[in-house]
Amino acid sequence: MANHKSAEKRDRQSKVRRLRNRMSKSTMKTAIRQVEEAIVSGSEEQAKAALQAAIPVIYKTATKGTVHKNTAARKVSRLTKRVNKMQPLA
């Protein structure tokens, strides 16, 4: 438990930040899950649309500091690669 006024404030701020980070990370994971479900279903157009919706969400999570920017870039890269593999070779 916090014994000082400043420590109590720090505790309150930590709780608020933790909830905000958790919400942001959850939103990112949902966007990623939607892309993966579209890939599994085999719908190329749906996968592309889900990817286009997920990319800004992932980068926004990194911008806010919830995840590292390299982690966000890696996730986007891997999702993009999986969506691109769906396309038949012409």
Q: Give kind and range of the element (H or E) at residue 46.
A: helix 44-63
Are the beta carbons of 44 and 87 closer than 8 angstroms?
yes
Token readout for 80 is 């993009």
Q: For residue range 17-47, list pLDDT tens digits in order.
A: 999 999 999 999 999 999 999 999 988 999 9
Architecture of the 5-86 domain: Up-down Bundle (1.20)
The contacts found for 31-34 with CB under 8 angstroms, 24 or more apart, are 31/57, 31/58, 32/58, 32/75, 32/79
pTM recorded for the entire structure: 0.86
pLDDT value of residue 89: 53
Average pLDDT of the chain is: 94
